[in-house]
């Protein structure tokens, strides 16, 4: 069943839109504090569609993401009491508890790892503010972690260029179904 290839074609057409970089910046900002969709879903196709601008897209994504992370930090620092009941009821509560534990053990490195990895960064930004992590180390760890991730994604896509775009299109349905299977397996293991 080919449901991922039409989505891929649509993402590629959106990535060439004249306002795409502003959508990318808004998504990057929002994802760091409250939005569930990672900016990689726009950064990768935009870097594929315009390899000569990939580094610019990575920089824009990094700056907007760190700015959004500072908003998440402020939410945690100034409004944690107001969002805590919602957080406890959401699927992010376990992630928040994990973030608190990581901060107790690793501090600065917890933000760096969360910024680079697919772990929900927003949970760590809010936890950093709620736990009153020093703002400068928070911002530096965010800048390095997020920057490394987004420049890696953009660089790989720009390096692959048209060849990678064609290969991804050819295999996107298989990759999509494999991702669904991995998420389902992960959910079963997590619940078990």
What is the percentage of the chain residues whose pLDDT exceeds 70? 87
DSSP for 130-151, written as a single string: HTT--HHHHHHHHHHHHHHHHH
| Residues 149-181 pLDDT 10s | 999 999 988 898 777 777 776 776 776 677 667
CB 157 within 8 A of CB 48: yes
Domain-embedded: residue 80? yes
Domain that holds residue 20: 16-159
Residue 9 lies in a domain: no
| Total count of domains within the chain | 1
Asked if the model's pLDDT at residue 190 lies above 60, the reply is: no
- What pTM does this model have? 0.78
Q: Is residue 173 part of a domain?
A: no
**Cβ-proximal residues to 52 (8 Å cutoff; 6+ apart), any chain:** 158
Confidence at residue 177, expressed as pLDDT on a 0 to 100 scale? 75
> What confidence score (pLDDT) does residue 68 get?
97
181 part of a folded domain:
no
CA distance 153 to 59: 12
Note the pLDDT tens digit of each residue in 31-78: 898 877 788 888 988 898 888 999 999 999 999 999 999 999 999 999
């Amino acid at each position: 069943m080919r449901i991922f290839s039409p989505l891929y074609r649509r993402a590629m057409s959106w990535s060439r839109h004249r306002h795409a970089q502003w959508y990318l910046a808004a998504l990057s900002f929002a994802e760091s504090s409250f939005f569930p969709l990672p900016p990689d879903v726009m950064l990768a196709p935009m870097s594929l569609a315009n390899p000569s601008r990939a580094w610019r897209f990575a920089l824009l994504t990094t700056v907007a993401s760190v700015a959004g992370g500072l908003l998440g930090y402020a939410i945690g620092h100034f409004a944690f009491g107001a969002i805590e009941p919602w957080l406890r009821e959401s699927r992010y509560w376990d992630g928040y508890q994990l973030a608190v534990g990581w901060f107790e053990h690793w501090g600065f490195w917890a933000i760096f790892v969360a910024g680079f990895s697919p772990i929900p960064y927003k949970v760590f930004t809010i936890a950093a503010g709620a736990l009153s992590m020093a703002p400068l180390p928070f911002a530096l760890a965010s800048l390095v972690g997020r920057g490394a991730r987004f420049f890696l994604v953009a660089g790989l896509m720009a390096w692959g260029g048209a060849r990678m775009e064609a290969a991804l299109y050819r295999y996107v349905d298989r990759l999509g179904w494999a991702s669904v299977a991995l998420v389902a397996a992960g959910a079963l293991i997590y619940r078990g």
